[in-house]
Amino acid sequence: MASRWRAALFLCLLMVAYSLANEAPAHETTESPNHEDTSTGNETSTGSHDDGHGDSHGDGHGAPITTLPIVTWKWHHVTAPYFVALWVLVSWLCKLVIEANHHVTTYIPESALLICFGFILGGMIWGADKVQTFSLTPTTFFFYLLPQVILDAGYAMPNKLFFTNMGAILVYAIIGTCWNAATLGLSLWGCHQGGAMGDIDIGLLQYLLFGSLMAAVDPVAVIAVFEQVHVNEVLFILVFGESLLNDGVTVVLFNVFDAFVSLGGGAIDAKEIVKGIVSFFVVAFGGSLIGFVFGLLVALLTRCTKNIQIIEPGFIFVLGYLSYLTAEMLSLSAILSILFCGMCCQKYINANMAETSVETVRYAMKVFANGSETIIFVFLGISAIDKVIWVWNTGFILLTLLFILVYRFIGVFLLTWILNKFRLVPIDFVDQVIMGYGGLRGAVAYGLAVLLDETKIKEKNLMVCTTLIVVYFTVIFQGLTMKPLVQWLRVKRAAHVDLMLIEKVQNKVFEHALIAIEDISGQIGHNYLMDKWKKFEEKWMSWILMKPSARKQQDRLFTVFHQLNLKDAMQYVNEGERRGSLEFIRNESAFVDFKKKFGKEFSDAMPDIMADMDDDEDGASSMRRDPVPSVSLEMHEQNMRGLRGAEEMNSHHLLEQHLYKGRKQHRHKFSRSQFGINQDEDEVQEIFQRTMRNRLESFKSGKMGVAPPKTITKHAKREDQQKMPNGKHKGYQSGDEDFEFSEGNSASGYDASFPVRPSYIAGAGIVNPAFMPDLEDWSPVHIPPWLADAELEEDPVAPSERAQVRLPWMRGHLHRLSSLRSSTRSEEQPGRRDQLPPPPPPPRPDREEDRL
Amino acid sequence: MGSRASTLLREEEIEEIKKETGFSHSQITRLYSRFTSLDKGENGTLSREDFQRIPELAINPLGDRIINAFFPEGEDQVNFKGFMRTLAHFRPIEDNEKNKNLPASEPLNSRTNKLLFAFRLYDLDRDNKISRDELLQVLEKVDVEQKMSIRFLH
């Protein structure tokens, strides 16, 4: 039945394509200005003359009518848009047919299949028209098909991963591409001199030009192939980042050599070469700057669009496209521009826009990007079936193929060897092989090849033909063999579901230990820069670019949701413990209840979390989900005791959900067809607030006058507190540059009395009740009421650092908090050393509640 | 601060520390200036309060344990040598043969010593055994409570 359906679809496809071929072909490009195309030979915009079957014209425009026509055939009216729509439809139908056969797509990448479909369609059209009426023109490609792909890439880019590896990516993109271009051009020229290519009329400069357009790794192809392979994130981001950033180099090289070819060999002197180098910097940085500016514009705009939420999502697309065109207009790197636009505005869009708008943007991006990619590949296939461009020169083509592969590998190995001297985590050999093999060329190279000027470059057709063959080889052959290669070489993959639970937990422990040491030693390497950037960004940019409500909103709602969550979770855990089994984990209704209970209230604020709760039930991939964590230890304990089968999977899943992430954990979120919901920042804030609240609570349990949690609010100035010697506040210095809370806080007049943290007992480990969680069952249950009470206060107790700097008006909090801590610490007396403060006694919560 | 730092740290001390821990000269001087900046009392040693003054540690679930790791058994102050000794555990492992000339003890940053350090993180009462309670404590901290390292960047 399914196969019959598929066959029917395929037949429909063929029929549509045939009818296309039979119509009066008004080529797509006629609708778009052709001034970009210098070579019209292949464009077949002249295809409109081929009207052999043009019996559909019906009444011409000019013929006078003699009677009122009820219905007229107005093909000429709709020709251009009709074709566009039809071709889009055909391409997407191809994809539909392909995706219906999943067992095929596991072996053959979709892009390869699409190209094959393109061949078939192209063949049919050519058979009908004897000339290729449709092909991928540079205008269509560069203006209408490529921008959305790159915008999606930028928008979904894992920024942290990208910038962490930025150095390596830049090295590969710039030096690698230059290396590829130079070596390819020179080797081909050398071979030409040696006579391997027969008699073709290409000079050194033209070889270099050809080299420069063949050098660039193509982002579309990389996405298409790597997406199905799931290599580890670092490898992926290196290849992908390189493919994106090398556009800057490619544009420059192409233009430079193009200009050189026009100038002719004689006019090139040192001045021109210097100008070439300078132009690289201008193009690359200029493009990025424009993208950045437009990204900021988007962010600013979304700040004010509260009243037009319906069309809010559209702004990113419009402005992104404008950034692309602006850069193109100024002859800067358009790809870099739109890439940085997308990367820059991610965060603010997610913060400022309503949830529905954010979802819309994400979905729409994926639709456009995926759709464009499909069309690109189909047309790449179609463009091949064109006799005009086929000039075969065995030497040229084969040598190009060979050199591309060889020099790619050499380049990667060389550069990685240099890079590994500076990297903390070296790139190992297997990854390098994959990186070399993953240097796929694609439509960008083809587009540039078609842009060549035929008058200056006699052998343009040969070059186009070679480019196509190279593209087909890399996409089809290398795409086909990529997955087996990855498996054969046992490349480190992305998923880590095999980690045992205890390993996961231990990893977290070590992460935190490392982070602590970094903080102590004050050396955090490149993170220091990122810190500084983050500080700057959160101080100034968030202030300007994010809606005030977005800045405020996150804390409060999450806290409330979180406490209720926590309360419920504790209850479930306790219940489960009582029953002595893990049944309650398997009880899906646990999650469902949450949703039912809180769905309405909180779905506006946090549909992300609600959506996650939805998806929890199938225990799906743990990579993408980290919703609100609220499971206490007991559950883990039981997890570790007896796990098997479904239980194990559930608890793996639970654990993955509920473990907090350390600082260094990267998550590979980039996928063309699926996307997870990013919970990082929200989780951070929730965690921190709950943490601080608990800790402050434990603080109270210590010594001196217990201050009710209310005191730790913005308007803290409670009368009913014991005074702490204020001099201690001032004792707090911040000599170290890592200190992120601002100084000069003591003036805020926070005189809440906090208990002195008892001193550490040497050798006795943790003594501080602040860090000693209550192990008894009841105490966690008691916390929520306390927290819930605290929630009645206006502001959350202690905003996370992130929240703190996002909420400048709350900065006062943390001052007080920190001054408090420091003062408590400095209060220690030697005599205390030997006391081991008892664990918080049972009456404590009662005491608290008395005070509340 | 820089000039004062270098005068307070004598060359032979630097050499000693270099031999013992394997840090390079510039690393040692840099860490020394960090040490002095943490040392508010300016008496050449760090106490626990000095460590606690680092704000990020307060929100690290293992902050206090790490701090404890700096202080050897029964002491309350750590001098620069001790500071460096603990930090030396965190140097990257060198698998080459450079360290063979060291005396019988393994370099501080060997795998074994790293593991020992991690073990001590768990072993609160320093009886060289990790009891079930100690394990639970760590896990709880890491999972539920203050395991907030807020600087995990998006």
Chain center to CA of B29: 16
pLDDT at A289: 92
To the nearest whole Å, the CA of B101 is away from the closest chain A CA by 25
Q: SS3 of B99, please?
A: helix
Q: What is the DSSP letter of A176?
A: I
Residue A367 in this model has a pLDDT that exceeds 90: yes
- The interface residues of chain B toward chain A in range 64-93, judged by CB-CB distance below 8 A, are 64-68, 70-71, 73-76, 87, 90, 92
To the nearest whole Å, the CA of B115 is away from the closest chain A CA by 11
For A372-398, write each residue's pLDDT tens digit.
999 999 988 888 887 777 778 888 888
Chosen for mutation from A422, A510, A520 (greatest number of chain B CBs closer than 10 Å) is A520
Give the span between the Cα atoms of A196 and A210, in whole angstroms: 17
CB A444 within 8 A of CB A218: yes
pLDDT at B35: 84
Name the token pair of A582. Answer: 């893990």
Identity of the residue in A160, A517, A694 whose CB atom sits nearest the CB atom of B154: A160
Residue A80 in this model has a pLDDT that exceeds 80: yes
For A196-244, write each residue's pLDDT tens digit.
777 777 788 888 888 888 888 888 888 888 877 778 888 889 999 999 8
Pick the CATH number of B11-91+107-147 from 3.40.50.10860, 3.30.870.10, 1.10.150.310, 1.10.238.10: 1.10.238.10
pLDDT at A38: 32
The residue with tokens 């929520």 is A784
pLDDT at A326: 93
Residue type, B81: K
Confidence label for A616 from pLDDT (cuts 50, 70 and 90): very low
CB A263 within 8 A of CB A712: no
Identity of the residue in B76, B144, B151 whose CB atom sits nearest the CB atom of A762: B76
pLDDT at A414: 92
For A750-803, write each residue's pLDDT tens digit.
333 333 333 333 334 433 444 444 333 333 344 444 444 444 443 334 444 444
Name the token pair of A15. Answer: 């029929």
Residue A635 in this model has a pLDDT that exceeds 60: no
Confidence label for B26 from pLDDT (cuts 50, 70 and 90): confident
Mean pLDDT of chain A: 67
Confidence label for A813 from pLDDT (cuts 50, 70 and 90): very low
pLDDT (mean) for A67-77 = 87
CB contact under 8 A, B57 and A519: yes
CB contact under 8 A, B152 and A680: yes
Confidence label for A648 from pLDDT (cuts 50, 70 and 90): very low
The residue with tokens 């070819």 is A261
To the nearest whole Å, the CA of A324 is away from the closest chain B CA by 26
For A139-166, write each residue's pLDDT tens digit.
888 999 999 999 998 998 888 888 888 8
Q: Spell out the domain ranges in chain B.
A: 11-91+107-147
**A246–chain B Cβ distance below 8 A for any pair:** no
**B24–chain A Cβ distance below 8 A for any pair:** no
CB contact under 8 A, B90 and A509: no
Residue of A262 and A825 predicted with greater confidence: A262
Residue B34 in this model has a pLDDT that exceeds 80: yes
pLDDT at A165: 85
pLDDT (mean) for B20-45 = 82
What is the reported pTM?
Answer: 0.60
Mean pLDDT of chain B: 72
Contact partners, residue A749, CB within 8 Å, separation at least 6: A717
Smallest CA-to-CA distance from A146 within A3, A311, A327 is with: A327
